[in-house]
Amino acid sequence: MDVNAYRQSAEAFLTDLTREYYLHYAGLKETYEIEPIYGRHEELFTARAIDDLRERRDATEPGSDDSRRLRMLLDFAVEGHLGEQTKALETDLAHREATLTLKLEDRQMGFRESSIIQANEPDAEVRATIEWARNEAMERELGGLYREMLERQHRCTAALGWSSYSEMCAECKAIDLAALHFQTAAFNADSEAGFPAVLEPEVRRTLGIDLADLRRSDLSRFFRAPEEDGQFPADLLVPSLMETMLGLGIDVAAQTHVHLDLDSRPNKSPRAFCAPVGVPGEVHLVLTPVGGRDDFAVLLHEAGHTEHYAHVEPALAFEYRYLGDNAITEAYAFLFEHLVGDSEWLRRRLGIEDADALLAHGRAQRLIYVRRYAAKLAYELELHAAPHGRSWDELSARYAQLIGGALQLEWPRETFLADVDPGFYCAAYLRAWALETHLRAYLRESFGPAWFEQREAGDALRQFWAEGQRLGAEEMLDELTGRRLEFGVLLEDFGLVAT
């Protein structure tokens, strides 16, 4: 294999695929034609290419640049290979999901839109009915496909010579999943007692119910928090972003390679995304504003990704520009997203003087996420372990037990396979949250509580961004502060340190 030719082909593949994704989901192109793109680059994802990359990587000096780059190419090849093998199932699943209808007593709704309707529904009983109908449809209509998909993934992993999916991901992504699990399980244990006190007042204030009555079906409503909409006026959405970036020395309007798309289009995806078609040459940020705090959080999150990609050094190796540890780009995204929970930012950008309620709500929401993802990691490690001989029934029961236990409420079993992101992405989020907390503390200590108005803070960020994802989250933190990536800082950040 000619590794340089492989890199060129991989970059062309990602550029074409991301462009197709962007055009389709921005509502600019009706069809979504990814088959021909895979067809043009078949050689990237063959078992032979994977074996070859693995052998080359094994022959390199551990820790060297060569070893790092070949490991990232291997991860790319493995992910693409599994994607190819499950492509038909995925298309089938997407199609069925998109056309599936939930029939409630007095109305019907699309499976996909049901979660938005649920978040906007003020009546808790109606929310519970929607939840029940969605879970029932999930099991009946999609359950078989999800099971087939998981079995296929595990068979492919074995055929490639790994003993389990977990082991494959840990090796290709260079993440010690067992150590991470140890840390995040400790975080959940240490925040267990304080969790209800963080949640209770917020659940009562926003939903008007006692914590004991909180159900899974209430969570999307709890996150949605329509009573906060008035503090986030739509006409400040774009200006608040522009001013924040200007404060850091970035004139988004003058960035010719950054494209903001906030227009409404009939076929535009309701889900915001950042599409790095070219890194750093062509980055799109796509969002359809619907109003309220979420618009601000989502726009800032995607802007964090966008500026990260747009500032990557163009001469950097392909692997470091496009591949590598996604905990890095997610940490920048969360750094900006969390400004909507920062009293200094809320005062300066939105004129909110008393942000106590917003902060308390944001904190409760964030704690739910971290605890849920810590439990997800524990569950996914069991799901993807070497043949565990467990039945679907046992696995779904275990899923409900672990997630429900972490959130201290009853959790449905039906989503035990739908609630799993490929390639242990939950580990990227968990590490990103820890890294972001360290990074935010570093920026505040170095540049003050209004760090987002300091050009020097922007200089520091630009320096990190230029490196793309060459370093892993642990390595980046070590370079930045000499500290280890720990979840104790998250505990402190939540004000939950045991005394």
Is residue 160 packed enough to be buried (19+ CB in 10 Å), middle (13-18) or exposed (0-12)?
A: middle
Q: How far is the CB of 333 from Zn ion (least distance, A)?
A: 4
Taking the least distance from each CB to Zn ion, the nearer of 333 and 355 is 333
Smallest Cα–Cα separation from 124: which of 204, 41, 207? 207
Taking the least distance from each CB to Zn ion, the nearer of 245 and 298 is 298
Q: How far is the CB of 427 from Zn ion (least distance, A)?
A: 14
Phi, psi of 143 (to 5 degrees): -55, -45
**275 by DSSP, 3-state: which?**
strand
Smallest Cα–Cα separation from 326: which of 300, 344, 308? 308
Q: How far is the CB of 467 from Zn ion (least distance, A)?
A: 18
Taking the least distance from each CB to Zn ion, the nearer of 127 and 438 is 438
Kindly report the number of other CB atoms within 10 A of residue 316's CB atom.
17
Q: How far is the CB of 154 from Zn ion (least distance, A)?
A: 27
Taking the least distance from each CB to Zn ion, the nearer of 331 and 489 is 331
Taking the least distance from each CB to Zn ion, the nearer of 329 and 415 is 329
Please report the sign of the dihedral spanned by the C-alpha atoms of residue 203, residue 204, residue 207, residue 209: positive
Q: Which two tokens stand for residue 21?
A: 């994704």
Q: How far is the CB of 431 from Zn ion (least distance, A)?
A: 13
Q: Pinpoint the alpha helices (H) of 160-256.
A: 165-173, 177-191, 195-207, 219-224, 237-247
C-beta pairs of 267-271 under 8 Å, 24+ apart in sequence: 267/27, 267/30, 268/25, 268/26, 268/27, 269/25, 269/26, 269/27, 270/116, 271/25
The C-alpha atoms of residue 460 and residue 452 are separated, in whole angstroms, by: 11
Taking the least distance from each CB to Zn ion, the nearer of 330 and 453 is 330
Residue nearest Zn ion (C-beta atom):
333
Smallest Cα–Cα separation from 132: which of 103, 95, 96? 103
The C-alpha atoms of residue 18 and residue 467 are separated, in whole angstroms, by: 21
Taking the least distance from each CB to Zn ion, the nearer of 132 and 369 is 369
Q: How far is the CB of 330 from Zn ion (least distance, A)?
A: 5
* Angle value at C-alpha 329, between 340 and 377, nearest 5 degrees: 90
Q: Which two tokens stand for residue 449?
A: 């509580």
Taking the least distance from each CB to Zn ion, the nearer of 300 and 407 is 300
Kindly report the number of other CB atoms within 10 A of residue 234's CB atom.
13
Smallest Cα–Cα separation from 359: which of 227, 461, 450, 494? 494
Kindly report the number of other CB atoms within 10 A of residue 139's CB atom.
18
Taking the least distance from each CB to Zn ion, the nearer of 333 and 364 is 333
Q: Which two tokens stand for residue 476?
A: 């980046």
- Residue pair 14/73 in contact (Cβ under 8 Å)? The answer is no
Q: How far is the CB of 10 from Zn ion (least distance, A)?
A: 22
Q: How far is the CB of 382 from Zn ion (least distance, A)?
A: 26
Residues in contact with Zn ion by the rule CB under 5 A? 330, 333
The C-alpha atoms of residue 493 and residue 166 are separated, in whole angstroms, by: 30
Q: How far is the CB of 305 from Zn ion (least distance, A)?
A: 6
Q: How far is the CB of 300 from Zn ion (least distance, A)?
A: 11
The C-alpha atoms of residue 401 and residue 380 are separated, in whole angstroms, by: 13
Phi, psi of 277 (to 5 degrees): -65, -45
Q: How far is the CB of 474 from Zn ion (least distance, A)?
A: 19
Taking the least distance from each CB to Zn ion, the nearer of 301 and 384 is 301
Taking the least distance from each CB to Zn ion, the nearer of 134 and 438 is 438
The C-alpha atoms of residue 13 and residue 18 are separated, in whole angstroms, by: 8
Query: DSSP per residue over 140-172, as a string?
Result: IIIHHHHHHHHHHHHHHHHHTT-S-HHHHHHHH
Taking the least distance from each CB to Zn ion, the nearer of 330 and 380 is 330
Q: Pinpoint the alpha helices (H) of 59-104.
A: 65-85, 87-99
Q: How far is the CB of 373 from Zn ion (least distance, A)?
A: 13
- Spatial CB neighbours of 445, under 8 Å, sequence gap ≥ 6: none
Q: How far is the CB of 43 from Zn ion (least distance, A)?
A: 30
Taking the least distance from each CB to Zn ion, the nearer of 149 and 333 is 333
